[in-house]
A and B are shown apart, each in its own frame.
Chain A
């Protein structure tokens, strides 16, 4: 499982890539 993505600091959510 790859562990990379974009974390939105305000929403505290991760968009996986």
Chain B
């Protein structure tokens, strides 16, 4: 499953298909996609999380979490990432540097920090995002196309409980 083209159309292709199938068109409707627990999850550009079952000839969309987490204190979300870590689905919000002094252009477009949320699935209620204060020994690598997590125990060159990010 991908978003592609100038408009960021959502499309998928199964093994054996001879062409891509467009699922949704629009102006960049999705921020990120991940495959998690045998389903594709898409993060809408307003933060809503959907799951897609593309096993049948008519793919089905299920709304998982409509209410996205927000940032407080004047911080503006710069980018959202989906990443799987130790079996959990994480949503990472990247925000710009926030400075009360509006006349400090040197800090424009600099990342100020991140907030990490975990999708908490409760049997009787809709799943919801819960802030995570620590990811233990995990290490996140956030990318424009895909994000991954690894264990700092297995890769001691990396710092635990840290997010490695690149310029987008």
Contacts and interface: CB of A to CB of B under 8 A. Distances in A.
Interface of A: 1-10, 12, 14
User: How many B residues touch the partner, as a band?
Assistant: 20 to 34
A9 B167 contact: no
Nearest to B136: A9
Contacts of B166: 4
A7 B113 contact: yes
A7 B134 contact: no
B76 to A, nearest CB: 15
Contact of B111 (A5, A10, A12): A5
Contact of B163 (A1, A2, A6): A6
Given A7-B114, A9-B133, A9-B135, A1 B162 contact: no
A3 B106 CA distance: 12
Nearest to B96: A3
Contacts of B111: 3, 5, 7, 14
A16 B133 CA distance: 21
